[in-house]
Each structure stands twice: as C-alpha cells, then as structure tokens.
Structure 1
Amino acid sequence: MSAHFRMNNLGALSYYLSIEVRQGKEALTLGQSAYASKLLERSGMAECKSCVTPMEERLKLMKASTMVKVDATLYRNIIDSLCYLVHMRLDIAFVVGYITRFMEDP
C-alpha cells in the first residue's frame, strides 16, 4: 500500500475507539477499563462497590412508576455508552438489553 499511498508509521497500536490494545509477543489483549471508569464517573457511580451480578435477581421494572423522573438525555447517553461497552463485556448484555426498554420515557 505504501507504494501507492503516502503513509506514516505511527508505531504500535495502543488505543483505538475507546479500546485499549496491549500487544505482546504471543497475545493481543483488548480492553475497555478506562472507558468503563469514565462511564462510571459520568453516571455518578464511581464510588460504588463492584458486584458479581450486574443486576438484582428477579428485579422487575415497570414503565408506569411513581418515582421522580430522571434526565432523559443523560439516561440515553449512559445507555448508549453501555451498549458500546457490551462489545467487550458480554456479561452485562442482558442487563443493558433490559434497561434499553425504558429509553422512551426513563
């Protein structure tokens, strides 16, 4: 390709589209820990403790609720970010799919 196009060598890839890339001699490792940390800060959950299951067992959410409405724009932004995070963290796929049902009127 360099014969037909002018190209620059930028070195080894380390970060691309919020995905951290670690290149070793025998393995290539992808991660999104920095992206997840920024998402936790933006959602006000940076100080929360981690847990094994990302959702309460047998949790039932309803669209008709008496709780105070949340900022819809912020809610949708966080859900969109979680959808992007699912590409690397399949363990949260069910939870993210479940809460996307409430994007219309959070």
Structure 2
Amino acid sequence: MSDLGALFYYLGIEVRQGKEALTLDQSTYASKLLEQSSMAECKPCVTPMEERLKLTKASTAAKIDATLYRSIVGGLRYLVHTRPDIAFAVGYVSRFMEDPRENH
C-alpha cells in the first residue's frame, strides 16, 4: 500500500481538508448538470420545489425525452450526497422516471 497524499477529488466530489473541517463540494458537477438540462441561466431559489405541488402520472401533456429526463434525475440523485436540502424534490420527481411528461 502506498500513500498518495491528501484527497482532492473523488467521483465528482471536490474534497477540501482543513485543520478544523473536511468539506465536500459538487459545484462543478452541479454546473455541468445545469448545462446538460439547459438550465445554466436560471436564477437560484431558496426553496428547491414549489410548495404543495401536486404531480400525477395521469397527465395529458406531451411526452419528453425519457432518456434525458432519467439522466438528469440520476445526476440529481448523485448531487444529493452533498446537497441534502434537495433530497425531497429529487425523490418526488424520481417517481416519474418510468413515463416522464412535459407538465405532470
């Protein structure tokens, strides 16, 4: 076994080690995910999901690219490791991975 030194980057997670704390950051990964979903220019918000939002699988909206939807939701699920504040919203949209539509 050999010592490779301090860990800086692992599986898309940036690691910063200080005397008092260890910090995990996925801001670069999040930026790439925003670009992939064509949302890089969107404004940030405090609440990651509209309150009392009701989505249903019985939607008549047009279908969207299911592969892209699954890819984005999968990326968001990975982002939850360092952003637990979005866990509920990501779990909620994960329910629609089988048959995603434009506006549920």
Which sections of structure 2, spanning at least 5 residues, go unmatched?
none
- How far 1:10 moved relative to its partner? 3.5
Determine if the alignment matches structure 1 residue 37 to structure 2 residue 31: yes
Match of 1:96 among 73, 82, 90: 90
Q: Which has the higher contact order (CA 8 A, sep 6+)?
A: 2
Matches within 5 A, 1:20-59: 20-59=14-53
Q: Does 1:16 align with 2:1?
A: no
Bigger-Rg structure (1/2): 1
* Cα deviation code 1:51-81 (max 9, x no counterpart): 0101111111111222221100010011111
Q: How many residue pairs are counted as aligned between the two chains?
A: 100
Q: Calculate the TM-score normalised by the size of structure 1.
A: 0.87
**Structure 1 residue runs without a partner (length 5+):** none
Counterpart check, 1:68 vs 2:62: yes
Alpha-carbon distance in structure 1 between the residues aligned to 2:92 and 2:22: 32
What displacement does 1:87 show?
1.4
Partner in structure 2 of residue 87 of structure 1: 81
Q: Name the TM-score, length of structure 2 as normaliser.
A: 0.89
Identity rate, percent:
76
Quote how far apart the aligned CAs of 1:11 are: 3.2
Distance (Å, rounded) in 2 between the aligned partners of 1:51 and 1:37:
15
